[in-house]
Chain A
């Protein structure tokens, strides 16, 4: 999907090699955490494997593989991981999504969903304001009807639902 040949208007972007190295380093750090935890709990063989035995073995292989990936990333040709234009597009989806998840705690899922729809459709653009509002009202109500009333699956609720007696 990331075609470095696609050099039309926006050749500027994050270099693939930097991202590759960053990911490999993160994985190496994770492997370190795993090994620390497993060896701390006992990774030996005591009449059968101890509870850290497998995670520790997997952790060592993981570490080796991640180091190899890191080494590889220096040897391969670097292209563009994602152009800044594309990154902007992704941020337009990711931004409202993070906001949505953050709001679920304080406001409950339904209100957060309504705000998310307004934010998302507003940011992405291409819709008229009344269709945005309509979607923002109908979708949470439909979800409420299906999950809360019909299937009795309790979802996180906030002050609005409490005021309405749910």
Chain B
């Protein structure tokens, strides 16, 4: 890490040629494709992992993060699909790996890729402006039933996670919301703190800054269990203090996977190398700090456990998407 950046390629080249011992080792720089734009949650995860791998020297080759955000991440996914057999590419994924193909009818499917590891799950929280009169999910729902025009809820993208949650809320209470899609969770957070929407359904990390700054306030987390992080985040609250929406009579829970895939048609040895590498990443202190900072649910899975999770998750999304009418015709 302390090496001069100009020197890195030469030294790593020397190391690579000197150590051909293991079953398979990368021989070129490894690209991590992020199907979202720079600065977003997936991008931050990829860059954190990049930092951890380089700091702990988990591979001799450099790691490059490439953003391919176009068409709701389909650009990045198509790129990986085209690179079948290339063992020097990885892609970070979220639930988008199911939802983008469903919403756009693009010929993409996660079974064309090689699952490597699931790194974590991300929660969703119902946030309101700090000055909002609503204290509980019950208050908010009552207000939504009376509101005309409908209450505005901000989120990221259309026909994606946030949109699904809002749809599920509408179904629960039989009232309409005006869902406003923004390009990023950061924008949704700023718009909420400016009072342009009544609520948003951001991930914890996306609204953390405004919560600490006293501009927004969490109402409840869309999960069956409260979050586990007990360290104070603001002056008098921690992530664990946020009640679940279920406990407040709003029966919606949703979490999103964050994982790593490789292109299809790679060998078992190549897959094993990366599984091993990400397992080591997930055990480092830096990774645990990262999870805590972003209030992610630490849920590392690989091999069969990951595949069966994916299968169940895909079925769940297919059901939710068709109920909501988000499937492409």
Binding site for B on A (CB under 8 A): 149-150, 152, 154, 165-166
Contact = CB atoms under 8 A, between A and B. Distances in A.
Q: Choose among A150, A152, A165, A166 the residue with the greatest number of B CB atoms under 10 Å from its CB.
A: A152
A154 B9 contact: no
A152 B6 contact: no
Contacts of B298: none
B28 interface: yes
Contact of A166 (B28, B62, B64): B28
Interface string B9-49: 10000000000000000011101000000000000000000
A154 B31 contact: yes
A53 to B, nearest CB: 15
A33 to B, nearest CB: 20
5 contacts: A149-B9, A150-B9, A154-B31, A165-B27, A166-B28
A2 B60 CA distance: 59
Nearest to B6: A150
Contacts of A166: 28
Nearest to B66: A154
Nearest to A166: B28
A139 B67 CA distance: 28
A150 B64 CA distance: 12
Nearest to B88: A154
Nearest to B28: A166
Interface residues of B, number: 8
A152 B28 contact: no
A165 B28 CA distance: 9
Tell me if A's interface is mostly helix, strand, loop or mixed: loop
Interface of B: 6, 9, 27-29, 31, 62, 64
A165 B9 CA distance: 14
B111 to A, nearest CB: 27
B301 to A, nearest CB: 30
B6 A154 contact: no
B21 to A, nearest CB: 19
A152 B88 CA distance: 14
Contacts of A150: 6, 9
A165 B13 CA distance: 11
Nearest to B9: A149
Contacts of A152: 29, 62, 64
Nearest first, the 5 closest Cβ-Cβ pairs linking A and B are A149-B9, A152-B64, A152-B29, A152-B62, A154-B31
Contacts of B6: 150
A42 to B, nearest CB: 11
Contacts of B64: 152, 154
Contacts of B29: 152, 154
A154 B86 CA distance: 14
A152 B66 CA distance: 11
Nearest to A152: B64
Contacts of A154: 29, 31, 64
Contacts of A165: 27
Nearest to B5: A150
B153 to A, nearest CB: 15
B5 to A, nearest CB: 8
A73 to B, nearest CB: 37
A124 B281 CA distance: 56
A74 B155 CA distance: 52
A149 B29 CA distance: 10
Given A154-B29, A154-B31, 9 more contacts: A149-B9, A150-B6, A150-B9, A152-B29, A152-B62, A152-B64, A154-B64, A165-B27, A166-B28
A15 to B, nearest CB: 41
Nearest to B16: A165
Nearest to A47: B178
A154 B64 CA distance: 9
B258 to A, nearest CB: 25
A70 B27 CA distance: 59
Contacts of B28: 166
A154 B62 CA distance: 12
B134 to A, nearest CB: 25
B22 to A, nearest CB: 19
A24 B200 CA distance: 47
A88 B169 CA distance: 66
Nearest to B63: A152
A159 to B, nearest CB: 16
A166 B62 CA distance: 14
B132 to A, nearest CB: 25
B28 to A, nearest CB: 7
A144 to B, nearest CB: 12
Nearest to A153: B64
